Structure 1
Amino acid sequence: WVLDKLKAERERGITIDIALWKFETPKYMVTVIDAPGHRDFIKNMITGTSQADCAILIIAGGTGEFEAGISKDGQTREHALLAFTLGVRQLIVAVNKMDTTKWSEDRFNEIIKETSTFIKKVGYNPKAVAFVPISGWHGDNMLEESPNMPWYKGWTKETKGGVVKGKTLLDAIDAIEPPVRPSDKPLRLPLQDVYKIGGIGTVPVGRVETGVIKAGMIVTFAPSNVTTEVKSVEMHHEQLVEGLPGDNVGFNV
């Protein structure tokens, strides 16, 4: 809810557009791309998900909610498939609303078992996925280990570098492996949006895939073949000397 700024979203209690926010962990500066879960807004979700290095699949643990999400037409299933299809190869599964299940170990294990089966069908290796039981509302296992689930001994996942372990969702985020990013190649930056800002001008926004973008560069937009100079580059309202692959930037042209 904190991420949902649009009035319509607040009133309906769902995420319609994608929102970019940043936070810092002990290890990374993370850009959260909050993508809509509601099926009417699946196009917006695709825009957001295609820019991610790792997907966090939030599953509602409540009775009936999980079952609806993984049913044949359920959104949990569809989102996992879309994430994999769009090239997001790392996944974290957070089982939310554990407070409504009275912190049930059986319910958590049931959800892990079912979820592992369908993410495997999609293409993910469940052994490389951290499964974390959380309560977003109460904050359990988000940043600190929860006293409400003493049965939970933490998550483990297999990586190329060996087995990684942790307890919380924050630990799981810090265990994401940054992909190798080709900054030595020509600039390629798919646009997510273009803003016209009074007093500043045109500000295209998107994620740098390859190469580097910085002030003074001459860039060409396709398919219109318009060429122009980059005046400045920003990320999260802060001026950048250069935008590197993986950065969600806005640049003034």
Structure 2
Amino acid sequence: EVSSYIKKIGYNPAAVAFVPISGWHGDNMLEPSTNMPWFKGWKVERKEGNGEGKTLIEALDAILPPSRPTDKALRLPLQDVYKIGGIGTVPVGRVETGVLKPGMVVVFAPANITTEVKSVEMHHEALPEAVPGDNVGFNVKNVSVKELRRGYVAGDSKASPPRGAADFTAQVIVLNHPGQ
């Protein structure tokens, strides 16, 4: 039943570990349980390598960390824009793909505003570069806080810059709906 649901939402059931557990009794959480003699263990098959085990902790340890797409074009959706006294305009957001470095010339879509990145910071610490997954603030030259807004996307002006689109095609999967 769970396998067919997993397949329906686009995942390969052979790559998902199924572990019967009881949090109440601690069955198969950290050590194999004697209360489930029918369970012989879990196996996952994936191109990066197979895994197997008997417990939830082993299944969690077998999860592969997501790859950081640093080889793709820079895409950084803005979450907010601040004006900081003595520094200037500081857009903030999470690097989704690519790398952001001080000195880069970035363009903000869809407004098509181009500017140079003066500095990149994460947690009040200057970074030589920001990679996918990093939530950063970056100081930009000669751009007013009023010109930028949440939802704009920053990208490298020289390598596959982002552009606005009139329309696009998407696949939407509803996992949970209150009426069903």
Superposition TM-score tier, normalisation by shorter sequence: 0.5 to 0.7
For structure 1, which runs of at least 5 residues remain unmatched after alignment?
Answer: 1-113
Q: Is the contact between residue 116 and residue 126 of structure 1 (CA under 8 Å) also seen in structure 2?
A: yes
Q: Is the contact between residue 217 and residue 229 of structure 1 (CA under 8 Å) also seen in structure 2?
A: yes
- SS of equivalent to 2:110: coil
Distance 2:18 2:78 in 1: 30
Higher helix share: 1
Task: Quote the residue 2:51 is aligned against.
Answer: 164
TM-score by length of 2: 0.55
TM-score by length of 1: 0.41
Larger Rg: 2
Q: Among residues 203, 225, 232, which one is paired with 2:91 in the alignment?
A: 203
Q: Among residues 87, 109, 112, which one is paired with 1:222 in the alignment?
A: 109
- SS of equivalent to 1:231: strand
Please give the residue correspondences for 1:1-253 in structure 2 after superposition, counting only pairs within 5 Å: 114-133=1-20, 145-146=30-31, 151=36, 154-166=41-53, 167-169=55-57, 171-172=59-60, 174-176=62-64, 178-179=66-67, 181-183=69-71, 185-189=72-76, 191=77, 193-196=79-82, 198-199=84-85, 201-209=89-97, 211-235=98-122, 239-244=126-131, 246-253=132-139
Distance 1:171 1:239 in 2: 37
Give the C-alpha shift of residue 203 in structure 1: 2.9
| 1:138-188 Cα distance to aligned partner (Å, 9 max, x none) | 7x589x6157675365432111144212433574355325347352x4423
Q: 1:164 to 1:221 in 2, by over 3 A?
A: same
**Structure with larger RCO (C-alpha < 8 A, sep 6+):** 2
Q: How many pairs align? A: 133
Question: Counterpart of 2:90 in structure 1: which amino acid?
Answer: T
